[in-house]
């Protein structure tokens, strides 16, 4: 008699497993759509911040002319602040 109950239990478990799988697939698709929408919103927010901060970006160039103390074009290392 126990064998008669085993088959319906297995089929019920299979039905529940299939339903669970289908429900998780739908939730996964909904999550993917939500993720895409969230990425779109964050990209728009980032571009807005870049537009506002864009004028603040500047380029600063610095040049320094070193005096050569010997005739070969080498600087005097003893008076160089780098080596102090």
The number of folded domains in the chain is 1
Q: Residue 73: inside a domain, yes or no? A: no
Dihedral (CA of 13, 14, 17, 18) sign: negative
28-71 pLDDT, tens per residue? 556 677 888 888 888 888 888 877 777 776 778 888 876 655 55
pLDDT classification of 24: cutoffs 50, 70, 90: low
Structure tokens at 43: 């990209």
What's the domain range around 37?
2-63
79 inside domain: no
Instruction: Give me 33's structure tokens.
Output: 């759509």
Per the CB < 8 A criterion, the answer to whether 56 and 63 are in contact is: no
As separate numbers, helices (DSSP H) first and strands (DSSP E) second, the chain gives 1, 0
- Is the pLDDT higher at 50 or at 76? 50
Residues sharing a CB contact under 8 Å with residue 65, sequence separation 6 or more, in sequence order:
none
Task: Using pLDDT thresholds of 50, 70 and 90, give the confidence band for residue 1.
Answer: very low
| Cβ–Cβ under 8 Å, residues 20 and 28 | no
What integer pLDDT is reported at residue 26 of this predicted model?
60
Tell me if 39 is assigned to some domain: yes
């Amino acid at each position: 008699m126990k064998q008669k109950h085993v088959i319906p239990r297995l089929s019920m478990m299979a039905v529940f497993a299939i339903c669970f799988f289908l429900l998780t697939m739908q939730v996964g698709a909904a999550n993917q759509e939500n993720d895409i929408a969230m990425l779109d919103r964050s990209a728009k927010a980032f571009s807005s911040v870049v537009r506002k901060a864009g004028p603040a970006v500047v380029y600063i160039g610095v040049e320094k002319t070193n005096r050569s103390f010997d005739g070969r074009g080498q600087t005097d290392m003893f008076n160089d602040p780098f080596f102090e």
